[in-house]
Structure 1
Amino acid sequence: MPRSKLLPAAITLFAIGLAAIITVFGLYAAGEHNLTVWLYVAAMMLPVGLALAVFSVVRRGGR
């Protein structure tokens, strides 16, 4: 079976989202309360990456 390029893309999006969420919590703990919108948009990559990963695994049949 040919290898799908969807799973590596999903992992990348998940990692970007996770890094953004860690950054948001870190900046908030440091006292910064007015964060930029792009940071929140980047944090939304975590659920998008998770959904793509689940879709990729289900599509391949779990192999």
Structure 2
Amino acid sequence: MVAAAALFTVGLLAVIAIFVLSALDRQASWLWAVAMALPVGMGVALVHAVRRR
């Protein structure tokens, strides 16, 4: 469960960074790849919750 929370947090921070950089008229294309950790973390947490029941 810790791994899912870490992936979700990293992905969420990447999404926030994308918005902040966009507001500053900058771009970091590698952040889009890091942002994919958000749905992966959510999926891992969902699978963990379903298996636990």
Above 0.5 in TM-score? yes
TM-score, L = length of structure 2:
0.93
The ranges of structure 1 where at least 4 consecutive aligned residues each deviate by more than 3 angstroms after the TM superposition are none
Q: Percent sequence identity over matched residues? A: 43
Give the letter aligned to residue 56 of structure 1. Answer: H
1:45 to 13, 37, 42: 37
Rg (Cα) greater in structure: 1
Structure 1 portions without partners, runs of 5+? 1-6
Q: What is the SS of the residue equivalent to 1:13? A: helix
Structure 2 portions without partners, runs of 5+? none
The structure with more helix, counted as a fraction of residues:
2
TM-score, L = length of structure 1:
0.79
